[in-house]
Amino acid sequence: MAKKQVVILGAGFAGLQLARRIRDIDYEITLVDQYNFHQFQPLFYQVATARLEPSSISFPLRKVFQREKNVHVRITKVEKIDMQANEVHTTDGDITYDYLVIATGCTSNFFGNKNIEKYAYPMKSTTEAIALRNRILLNFEDALTAPPEELPGIMNIVIVGGGPTGVELAGSLAEMKAQILPRDYPDMDFSNLGIYLLEGQDATLAAMSDKAQKASQKYLEGMGVQVWTNTIVADYDSKTVYTKDDRTIQSHTLIWAAGVMGNVPGGIPKELMVRGNRIKVDQFNRLEGTENVFAIGDIAYMENKDWPKGHPQLANVANNQAKNLAKNFLGLMRGKELQPFVYKNPGTMATIGKSKAVVDLPAFSFKGFFAWLFWMFLHLMLILSVKNKLIIFINWAISYVTNDTTLRLILLPTRKQVEMAVEERQKEPA
């Protein structure tokens, strides 16, 4: 008998975890992604602030599966899913499936503001993190020769969104301002470098405990970050940030970490879509009304008595949904009943800087040096390869001892790279 075809859309935490766990089961697996590498999103901010190289947190998909004859990697963009014909239409042709798993994750949510979408810097991919690194480093080069009236715009960096990404990025920039930049640019005054963190709710890390919220804001303010809570950005014109309470900040660099929305392929029925552009699934991560289409990770919205508003969009949820679905695929092969997904929150954490972090566990919360070590250990364990774990650990160790990094490279695209990017863009679905 021909092997059943499993098509997985997306090679993020959920998609890659599932592919790795079912590669030894008697399925033919096709893994589809627009990039040829897996990206470790929790450390994008360290790429953006020149603490880690992109290759340290990015893993070539063909390398991961180079010994698996039944795993096929396809680098292409999904145009539409035809659930009647059991086909995925991509820019490089159609792919037929017996089982389809949607793990396309999330993208930045600009809440309909076209100016912010046009001018702000998001950080949802390795390439976006590199672009942000270039922009930040170019700011300091521009500041050397800029006239005085342009300096505030160049030297102010505004981060919108006080969740873990925004907090960690703000803390990393504050450490760069205090420890690295004065040595790189001895003829510049960095007391005028303003780092602003704008949060729409009344506290940073709103999803964490009150203790973690207060500690994170205290850490940031102690490092010189200007934290504006209860502040919503109304508009941005590439030069000035406008808030809804009529305040303004001159800045050429607005970093958008304020929200996400599901990256949903075409062909999903509208009645399955819920708030945040997520796909509604049952307790087995199966799209309601289907038997062979599943969604896992950030894109999936599952309600139950423990999570009446759906599960948080975290890597740990994605990994555990993939593990449960992998067991169910084995069960399907053996004719067994599907097992429901059950999630127990193991805790959340965020780091603000050297020896500064906050951790919420189910039983208690803690902060400071041991929380920082705990954060580093768990993130290292999630890195795919031993080689990358070692590289990241060495970088962190050197940075801890020297308060410096050696990765501040401005790598702008060449003409040929721009031409190739344009060619690839032209292949994208309208």
Mean of pLDDT values over 65-87: 94
Residue-level pLDDT at 334? 87
pLDDT tier, 406 (very low <50, low <70, confident <90, very high otherwise): confident
Please say whether the dihedral angle defined by the alpha carbons of residues 149, 151, 153 and 156, taken in this order, is positive or negative.
negative
pLDDT of residue 397: 93
Region 208-222 average pLDDT: 96
- Please, which pLDDT band fits residue 201 given cuts at 50, 70 and 90? very high
Model confidence at 64: pLDDT above 60: yes
Could you read off the pLDDT of 296-307 as tens digits, one per residue?
Answer: 999 999 999 999
Write down the mean pLDDT value for the chain. 93
Structure confidence at residue 1 (pLDDT): 58
Give 132-170 pLDDT, tens digit per residue. 999 999 999 999 999 999 999 999 999 999 999 999 999
Give the 3-state secondary structure of 345-408: CCCEEEEEECCEEEEECCCCEEECHHHHHHHHHHHHHHCCCHHHHHHHHHHHHHHHHHCCCCCC
Residue 284 — pLDDT band, cuts 50, 70, 90? very high
What is the predicted pLDDT for the residue at 21?
Answer: 95
Residue 419 is predicted with a pLDDT of 87
The domains of the chain, with CATH numbers, are: 4-34+76-108+261-333 (3.50.50.60), 114-258 (3.50.50.100)
Residue 187 has pLDDT above 60, yes or no: yes
- Residue 4 to residues 7, 29, 30, 99, 107: CA-CA distances in angstroms? 10, 9, 11, 8, 31
Query: pTM of the prediction?
Result: 0.93
pLDDT range class, residue 375, cuts 50, 70, 90: very high
For residues 48-73, give the mean pLDDT.
93
pLDDT at 20: 95
Indicate if the pLDDT at residue 429 is higher than 70.
Answer: no
pLDDT recorded at residue 251: 97
End-to-end CA distance of the chain: 39
pLDDT at 285: 97
Segment 30-55 mean pLDDT: 94
- Predicted confidence (pLDDT) at residue 106 exceeds the cutoff of 80: yes
Tokens of 69: 């004859």
Residue in 222, 218, 243, 217 with CA at minimum distance from that of residue 158:
243
pLDDT at 430 over 70: no
Q: What percent of the chain has pLDDT over 90?
A: 88
How high is the pLDDT of residue 400?
92
Worst-scoring range by mean pLDDT, 5-14, 357-366, 382-391? 382-391
